[in-house]
Structure 1
Amino acid sequence: MSQRIDYHNDPNAPAANSLVPSVNVVVTNDADEVLLIRRSDNGNWALPGGAVDLGESIPQAAIRETLEEAGITCEITGLVGTYSDPRHVIHYTSNDEVRQEFSLVLTARPISGQPTPSTESSEARWVPQHELDKYSMHSSMRMRISHHLQGDGPHIG
């Protein structure tokens, strides 16, 4: 089975060989719960998201990825920030691609659907904000969520 391995500030990380624009989406419901998925490729909890496909806009990619990975149709409401730290690389073992981080993190509200896993997610659920620390996730994902919760303007990095 292919895996996703995140490296951040790791001198032993493989060198990046691609740069792919991607999105993550912080979807919050009326109870201020955050939509999380458990990734099938590494078991970590994460915000829904993925690559922006040719021919689609950033908001279109965010809406598509949230529906595909979590079963929720959403409406984009804002921007958490931009994330492009070259010290964060993601190794996909299926094809030996090593991506340099390039992610835009958007906010959204749910319109319809129920959290539903997919081939890319083994679980999808609404998580109360006070329970987020209990979920195992990569530090880069935790940072994105933290930036959203702080709400002090778009992060540029």
Structure 2
Amino acid sequence: MVMPTHIVAVGGIVEDEQGNILLVKTHHGGWVFPGGQVEAGENLMDALIREIKEESGIDVAVSKLIGVYSNTGIHKFYDGITDVPTKVMMDYVCNPVGGELATSEETSDSQWIVKEKVLDLVTAPAIRTRYKAYLEFVGEIKYMDYVTHPTFEIKLNRTV
């Protein structure tokens, strides 16, 4: 029996007191809300705080879980050789508590964007879908199963 391999990732929708959302511009994926993979031995909250700080320069406090997502499509990484396994992602609302906008090895820009203008910048279908779940959040956790390759397709969409 082969043990399953999954990538665990976290995403943070960081909203400031003026209703602006923190976005970062990645080299491969365009504008997104910050987040990334949880490292071995790292808890979800620490991973999210680390990823947001690394990608944007902003320090945050994690507030609440709003969505759990599975990207169950297996596809090739940017190198065209490596298989990308199933990814399980959890999105959280976060509050900024310090830091200053910065960039990183992964990001070429970071900005506070008016909440209503975020979808004008975010083009990746999965990120757009997850951001819309944030806009529609009324207290129930969203669960979605989707694939991103060859095209974006939602396979399951419900609240839990």
TM-score, with structure 2 as normaliser: 0.80
Unaligned runs of 5+ in 2: 145-160
Say if 2:19 is the partner of 1:32: yes
Deviation (angstroms), 1:90: 6.8
Give the direction of change, closer, same or farther, for the CA distance of 1:39–1:90 in structure 2 (3 Å limit).
farther
Is the alpha carbon distance of 1:99 and 1:39 closer, same or farther for their aligned partners in structure 2, counting shifts above 3 Å? farther
Q: Provide the residue aligned with 1:12 in structure 2.
A: none
Question: In structure 2, how many angstroms separate the alpha carbons of the residues matched to 1:137 and 1:70?
Answer: 19
Asked whether the equivalents of residues 52 and 58 of structure 2 are also in contact (C-alpha less than 8 Å), the reply is yes
Q: What is the TM-score when the length of structure 1 is the normalising length? A: 0.81
Is 1:121 the equivalent of 2:121?
A: no
- 1:117-156 mapped onto 2 (5 Å cutoff): 117-152=103-138, 153-156=140-143
User: Secondary structure of 2:91's partner?
Assistant: strand
* Structure with more relative contact order (C-alpha pairs < 8 Å, separation 6 or more): 1
Deviation string for 1:25-47 (max 9, x for gaps)?
1010001111000012x151111
Give a deviation string over 1:81-130, Cα, whole Å, max 9, x none: 10013147572428624132311111100000122111100000111012
Aligned length: 140
The 1:57–1:90 alpha-carbon spacing in structure 2 relative to 1, beyond 3 Å, is farther
